[in-house]
Amino acid sequence: MFLSCQEGNHLCWTRHEPVGVCGQIIPWNFPLLMQAWKLGPALAAGNTIVMKLAEQTPLTGLYVAQLAVEAGFPAGVLNVVPGYGPTAGAALSEHMDVDKVAFTGSTEVGHLVAQAAAHSNLKRTTLELGGKSPNIVFADADIAHAVETSHFGVFFNMGQCCCAGTRIFVEGKIYDEFVERSVERAKMRNVGDPFDPNNEQGPQIDESQFKKVLEYINIGKNEGAKLLIGGNRSGDKGYFIQPTIFANVKDQMKFAREEIFGPVQQILRFDKMDDLWERANDSMYGLAASVFTKDLDKAMMFAQNVRAGTVWINMYDNFDAAAPFGGYKMSGHGREKGEYALEEYTEVKCVMVKVPQKNS
């Protein structure tokens, strides 16, 4: 890009250069997708990569590395290592020869990655972290569509999705109907072998996550939320959890503020718009949000007022490779996908040169 520079005989331009060696740490919930989101922009911008796979799901990433070798990638350009966070992940974050680290995972671990990056060589970071996304359903919405889409927005991938729409605010006029329909939809959800096409829901990733979800369900019960369906393990073996719905959820309940990462739908009520934006934003997270309404003015007002990196209107979990994705607040910083992702993997250099006088 060429720029005019001051008055006189000067030429100025900018170069977008690779950052260098990029450490990338991906999670277990979407191992192939997260690998693609990370590798694409980093390689396109000319960087080399050391990628740490999640210890729960290493096989997909290792197979992609094998395919890269077969495709003729030069040695050293793409390096993929399995390992644990406190060892392999920490080594990448702390290493003095790593110029950037990109991490997707929990906010808790995101803190550690950022601290390690700062304490080492002040390496650049992009962090895509947790969420507790608000989903607003107005009384004028297509309620059948809102129920089905909100169901998908919570229960997709067994609820193991950073942008899951877990805080559902429903306008009082339709609250009871929305809750009733949501329960009926959850009753239809088949839980079992994920390789059976008749099942919509498989197990949680491991025992630790299984126990964490059940613990949050018990917290919700103890806090006074109304359990309408589910709340227990499904079956007598494996890490399967029943689709669970709570009504009469209050903003300050612990399980309504912290990320559960499981098949647990929490339905809150609102009766006026005056404090709706404040309630929606009353979270340390800001990854995604959604609104269901036939009134475009309401939808646009919500989109402008909510502090979230992605806002869906009358839809949920819609993605495009060209559309940026990332969070506000403690959901992280930086963006994945599209042109904005390329910016995360380049350094901008300004070059100025004095040139001879030219006659007009």
Gyration radius of the chain over CA positions: 23
Q: 346 and 45 in contact (C-beta within 8 Å)?
A: yes
Residue 162 known to be catalytic: yes
Give catalytic status of residue 94 as yes or no: no
Give 122-135 pLDDT, tens digit per residue.
Answer: 999 999 999 999 99
Cα(246)–Cα(114) distance, integer angstroms: 35
pTM (global) more than 0.75: yes
| Amino acid in position 187 | K
Return d(Cα 97, Cα 296) in angstroms, integer: 50
- Which residue in the list 22, 94, 161, 162 is annotated as catalytic? 162
Among the listed residues 94, 128, 171, 259, the single catalytic one is 128
The CA distance from 234 to 117, in Å, is 42
Tens digits of residue pLDDT in 261-304: 999 999 999 999 888 999 999 999 999 999 999 999 999 999 99
Q: Give me the chain's average pLDDT, please.
A: 96
pLDDT higher than threshold 90 for residue 113 = yes
Q: Residue 51 pLDDT more than 60?
A: yes
- As a whole number, mean pLDDT of residues 194-205 equals 97
Share of the chain above pLDDT 70, in %: 97
Residue whose C-alpha is closest to residue 54's, from 81, 17, 20, 16? 81
